[in-house]
Structure 1
Amino acid sequence: MAPYHIRRFQERDHKQAVDLFCRGMQEHIPTTFRHMLTLPRTLLLLSGAPLTVVLVSGSWLLAIVCVFFLLLLLRFLARQPFKEYMTMCLRTDMADITKSYLNARGSCFWVAESGGQVVGTVAALPVKDPPVGRKQLELFRLSVSSQHRGQGIAKALVRTVLQFARDQGYSDVVLETSVMQQGAITLYEGMGFQRTGQFLYPSNINWLMEFSIIHFMYPLPTAQEHGL
């Protein structure tokens, strides 16, 4: 693997950064689908609906067809949270990364570059309404190409945000990630982020999916805590 380096986003990176973001989101769809198949309500649906078909029609073939179409439906539903989120992001901050992250003070967007290609991204924006007495920076858009994982790129990108937050005088770095993103959860907890809350993703199909969002926080030492 070619070595990588982290730098500020440039406009020529836009297409690669967006493609990397979309591929990263789509990777979570199979995990979400498998998660749905383990839920009691899903198992009840997959067993109850075919049984009802057999009792009504007397046909096991129709029951098998029913199961097949239910699995297709569940696979389609597993895509929805990520599709909705990607659509929203591509219409907002990812539509103009320079305007969203580089033109405002106290925010930034970085890329990890290797072999002339963007292989990782991360971004940060100030929290608009932080708790009283806190100045918080929110981490966004952490993504690393599947071909370049295992090289410490994700950790390096997160450390870049943490150092930026220290330099800018923030008191905390916060972020949100879904329960489906186990790799990200392990990364954040391993780097010292603390879970501070969990809530259901606002979706009309969440009664079926139990798709939750976890909130993390990384408190940064202040000058007073260092005795300076």
Structure 2
Amino acid sequence: MASFHIRQFQERDYKQVVDVFSRGMEEHIPTGFRHLLTLPRTFLLLAGVPLAIFLVSGSRLLAVVCIFFLLLFLVFLASKPWKDYVSKCLHTDMADITKSYLNAHGSFWVAESGGQVVGIVGALPVKDPPLGRKQMQLFRLSVSSQHRGQGIAKALVRTVLQFARDRGYSDVVLETGLLQQGAVTLYYSMGFQKTGESFMDILTWLVDVSLIHFIYPLPSAQKHEL
């Protein structure tokens, strides 16, 4: 098993960080496409439109061509949310990681193995937490596909939990996509609790890809409340 260590982000890491993040998000596109194919509305689209074209035109060829273009459209629908999300992140918080995280009372870490960045995670204070709570939000957790199964993701999450605990935060919160099953399983296994679901926009509602909201009440905070 390859060794790794976790350290704070440095400017020289930027290109590798972006690569790990972008590749990690775009890996979910095939899963999104398969998910789309399981939706009843997709079945109605793939069956109903070609059938209507065949009944109107009497041409089987037109119906087959229609199915082909509908599948291309579904590939577009499956990929667009992930590509839009990556683009948004790279133009907001990840445009300047030092400014967005390290200079904003949060932090950003990389997992390094063999001189390469193989995992990333960030954390920022929640601006408007629930009354009486002081919350830290976990962002951008990603591990390169070649280095999964080594405990890197868990180590990165634990780094955020310890960072928040040391600074007196009561909870760590996060959001992750329903289709990111590896991440969902990881958070449950580490003791995170689901607090709800939501959709980013009308497109994610259309393709039924929700965000799951999680919370991890920090033990130190729980003790103070007893």
* TM-score (normalizing by structure 2): 0.96
Residue identity matched to 2:109: W
State the match for 2:19 in structure 1: 19
Shift of 1:227: 9.6
Show CA shifts across 1:129-164 (max 9, x none). Answer: 000100000000100000000000000000000111
SS at match of 1:222: helix
State the match for 1:220 in structure 2: 218
State the match for 2:169 in structure 1: 170
Cα 1:77–1:195, aligned 2, differ >3 Å: closer, same or farther? same
Residue identity matched to 1:146: S
Shift of 1:174: 0.1
Give yes or no for the alignment of 1:198 onto 2:197. yes
State the match for 2:9 in structure 1: 9
State the match for 2:152 in structure 1: 153
Paired with 1:194 and 1:227, the residues of 2 have a C-alpha distance of: 18
Shift of 1:222: 2.9
Residue identity matched to 1:82: W
SS at match of 2:133: coil
State the match for 1:64 in structure 2: 64
Residue identity matched to 2:152: I
SS at match of 2:220: coil
SS at match of 1:109: strand
Give yes or no for the alignment of 1:45 onto 2:28. no
Residue identity matched to 2:54: V
Shift of 1:47: 0.3
SS at match of 1:225: helix
Show CA shifts across 1:107-142 (max 9, x none). Answer: 100000000000000000000000010000000010
Among the aligned pairs, what percent are the same residue?
Answer: 73
Cα 1:104–1:200, aligned 2, differ >3 Å: closer, same or farther? closer
Paired with 2:218 and 2:206, the residues of 1 have a C-alpha distance of: 38
SS at match of 2:213: strand
Show CA shifts across 1:58-115 (max 9, x none). Answer: 111111111111000000111111111111111111111111111122x100000000
State the match for 1:76 in structure 2: 76
Cα 1:146–1:225, aligned 2, differ >3 Å: closer, same or farther? same
Q: Does the 8 A contact of 1:41 with 1:208 survive in 2?
A: no
Q: Does the 8 A contact of 2:122 with 2:139 survive in 1?
A: yes
Q: Does the 8 A contact of 1:20 with 1:144 survive in 2?
A: yes
State the match for 1:111 in structure 2: 110
Q: Does the 8 A contact of 1:2 with 1:114 survive in 2?
A: yes
* TM-score (normalizing by structure 1): 0.95
Q: Does the 8 A contact of 2:171 with 2:216 survive in 1?
A: yes
SS at match of 2:212: strand
Give yes or no for the alignment of 1:88 onto 2:88. yes
Q: CA RMSD in A?
A: 1.5
Paired with 2:198 and 2:91, the residues of 1 have a C-alpha distance of: 24
Paired with 1:52 and 1:180, the residues of 2 have a C-alpha distance of: 32
Shift of 1:2: 3.0
Give yes or no for the alignment of 1:211 onto 2:206. no
